[in-house]
Structure 1
Amino acid sequence: MTKTPRSVARTAPHLGVRALNRATLERQLLLRPSRMPVPGAVEHLLGLQAQNVKPPYYALAARLDGFTPEALSGPMAAREAVRIVTLRSTIHTHTADDCLALRPLTQPAMERELANFGKGLAGVDLDRLAELARGLVEAEPRTMKQLREELAREWPDADPLSLSVAARCRLPLVQVTPRGLWGRSGQVRLTTAEHWLGRSAGPAATLESLVPRYLAAFGPACVRDMQTWAGLTRLREVFERLRPRLVTFQDDRGVELFDLPDAPRPDPDTPAPPRFLPEFDNLLLSHADRTRVVPPEHRGRHWQGNIAHCTFLVDGFLAGLWRLEKDALVIEPFARLGGARRDEVLAEGERMLRVMHPEAAYDIRFGTVRR
């Protein structure tokens, strides 16, 4: 008799919350500083969430030994890494190769987003819109405002915002530099990935190739976890096709988790030093069940409306917020820290400041982070 996924889960080895925590931190390069080069780390992590300019830099500072902001700015200026809307229909910093390979996989999510603007696009030929928008941004990088204005000449009765959203959903639009460079500023100006990188997209990645990469960076994980991370649906069939190449576990709720056979799964008692993470760090966004990192009592405390706060980990779990103000790093623990933990958090804060702001002088104090 063939075992169903549910029966497999009931007989699979158990992984508790701490075991999942340590496995995920190891793959996220957060248990110990990694010597991985920046492009390799961005590729391994399958991109860095990047709604704002600074978070990818802080994300790498928490993970890489010897990191400097220039180590990411350099590849971006050289067009070896780019900012583009991909996973969960949000902006990510990807390597050039992943930008071209992964963006086509996210098209179903883009189409779902586009469907929300249907009323504003009544009478608009979306294929014609994509063709026209491509010509505009490849002739010269455009801001979204400029793109809206140009497209509105063709469809004056359509909603201007819907027109620009349609262009972004139908085309792989990257944000050109200097936007995204450390210490630089610039408007968001867009062109196509192919034009910016000087090469065609080539074959897209397959979901079968993406599942092992997701597990290598975020596993062990269930199907819903990957769907949450990618913003995609109906991935169960992909996991089932890959089942012979994977191993399975079950979590505290009996949910079946998939993993790579040789992936690291450290002892649950492995030490996990404090880490300071930026807002929107993918560690906190890439699982349907986030209790492997976010204790239930702290759920939702790092969000306020649509705003995410910078966070820090203690013993591998979400433990508080931080904010860099004009002259101080303010640290707000969710619960009292013992003397040793407090010293460890202070030391990690000092390390982060040395990496990210070596020329600046900041006080470090415990207090309330301004909302």
Structure 2
Amino acid sequence: MANSPSLLAPGIRQLRLSRQQLRPPLAGSPGDAVRHLLAVQAQEFPYARWTVAQRTSGSTAAVVEQDVADGTILRTHILRPTWHFVHKEDLGWLMGLSHDRLHQGNQGMYRRTGVDEEAAARSGRILAAAVAGGAHKTREELAASLDQAGLPSKGLGFVYHLMHAEISGILVSGAPVRSAGGALKQTYALFEERVTGRFAGPLTGPEREHALGQLALRYFGSRGPATVKDCSAWSGLTMKDVKLGLHVAADLAPGALAAVSVDDLDFYLPSADAEALGALPVPNGSTPPRVDLIQCFDEYVMGYSQSRHYLGGTAPYLPEDNGPMHVVLLDGRLAGWWRHSFTGGACELDVRMNTPATKEEQAALEAEAARYGTFLGLETTVKLL
């Protein structure tokens, strides 16, 4: 019989917080945090920096940006696909595993935007030549190169030429640059100059099975307890592939992962955590509350689909009233929403709690805001909406 959610839901949240390094032991560096999580959703770059930094001991925005600049952390379209941070040592094999499904998923948009085989091959050559030899280029600069060749330089056609080049192992993120106004702008670089490890197209046969096993070990090791369907939705792979990955993982690292039944679902997680799950203490108010400000696309949210309800609310979401959309966690459970804004060299955090904060919860929120201010290097205040 499955265990009662009222008994094990807090334990699931505690294990996820720990495995995702939102609780100690934290990662030693931003690169280590990304390597641990394998891929970190990163379409909103300013908030994605925080996602990485808050899993380390005191990393600042500048430290994360430096890891992106020197290529330890790469940003590209991978998995579902959307923008993700991936460690340079993992992107080659992960792209080889994702390559076919990414292109298949984009086929409709390729047809709509005219990105056929001939056009993609031509734009790929132009884009590769533009960034070769460490000549990192902004989107605007690459648009100019395609425009000169009579290829799309704006709109969806341009976007999908760039994405095709990323998925094909031609382009990847370069070193960000500052505009004249001080805004951080992303650049593109040559994939083979930034990625550690060979990428020669889609993986097949034993190489693909080995990669599936590695993905299973890394996903469930960093996000467990999680289900096969959770992993499938996160990775963009089929459930059949995830199950094969779990089978291969048992040979690659015998005993590393275990399965438990909770709420009529099969969860996979590190074996040590499976033994501890039922014995974890339930928060009862005897210890100070802990608040985490996470972005709405944080892996604590996006790492799950079938079992995201253990978060205790619906996320991510787009508010209709232009309100905050990033997530306030109270002891690992969704408790409100937040956003940042900048005025006069300071940061204001607008926070909307689902229920009025107690004195202790307010103190925990202020402490987390101070940590965010240290990350930004700015004075930070909290405004409750």
Q: TM-score, normalised by structure 2?
A: 0.77
Distance 1:123 1:339 in 2: 60
Match of 1:4 in 2: none
Shift, 1:95, TM fit: 1.7
SS at match of 1:256: strand
- Structure 2 residues not aligned, in runs of 5+: 201-206
Change (3 A) 1:90 1:262: same
Alignment partner for residue 52 of structure 1, among 20, 44, 49? 44
Partner of 1:349: 369
Provide the aligned length of Structure 1 versus Structure 2.
349
Q: CA deviation at 1:333?
A: 0.5
**Which stretch shifts more, 278-287 or 256-265?**
256-265
Cα deviation digits, residues 79-103 of structure 1 (max 9, x gap):
2222122132111222210222322
Match of 1:227 in 2: 232
What is aligned with 2:314?
Answer: 299
| Identical aligned residues as a percent | 19
Structure 1 CA distance, aligned partners of 2:148 and 2:167? 17
Query: For the structure 1 residues 16 and 42, does the alpha-carbon distance in structure 2 shift closer, same or farther, using more than 3 Å as the test?
Result: same
1:239 is matched with which residue?
246
Separation in 1, partners of 2:92, 2:157: 29
Where does residue 204 of structure 2 map in the other structure? none
Structure 1 residues 175, 168: CA separation in 2 closer, same or farther (over 3 Å shift)?
same
- State the partner residue of 2:293: 276
From 268, 274, 280, give the equivalent of 1:258: 268
One-letter identity of the residue aligned with 1:239: L
Q: Is the 8 A contact 2:89 2:197 kept in 1?
A: no
Q: Which runs of 5+ in 1 are unaligned?
A: 1-9
Residues 1:162 and 1:148: Cα distance change in structure 2 (over 3 Å): farther
Using the alignment, how far apart are the partners of 1:115 and 1:95 within structure 2? 27
SS at match of 1:340: helix
User: For each residue in 1:223-275, what CA deviation from the matched residue of structure 2 results, as whole angstroms up to 9, or x when unmatched?
Assistant: 100011112223233334546743211122x0111223234756152666211
**TM-score scaled by length of structure 1:** 0.80
Maintained 8 Å contact 1:275/1:348: yes
Equivalent residue, structure 1, for 2:33: 41
Amino acid at match of 2:193: H
- CA deviation digits over 1:272-322, x for unaligned, max 9? 621111242111111113445432xx3147434899822210021111111
**Match of residue 83 from structure 1:** 75
Query: Aligned equivalents of 1:94 and 1:301: distance in 2?
Result: 21
| Higher helix fraction (1 or 2) | 2
Question: Which residue is equivalent to 1:5?
Answer: none
* Structure with greater contact order relative to length (CA < 8 Å, sep ≥ 6): 1
Partners of 2:160 and 2:265 lie apart in 1 by: 40
Q: Name the stretch that deviates more: 21-30 or 299-308.
A: 299-308
Report what 2:338 is aligned to.
322
1:100 aligns with 2:92: yes
CA RMSD of aligned residues (A): 3.5
Residues 300 and 138 from structure 1, CA distance in 2 versus in 1: closer, same or farther, beyond 3 angstroms?
closer
2:382 to 335, 346, 364: 364
- The answer to which of 299-308 and 221-230 deviates more is 299-308
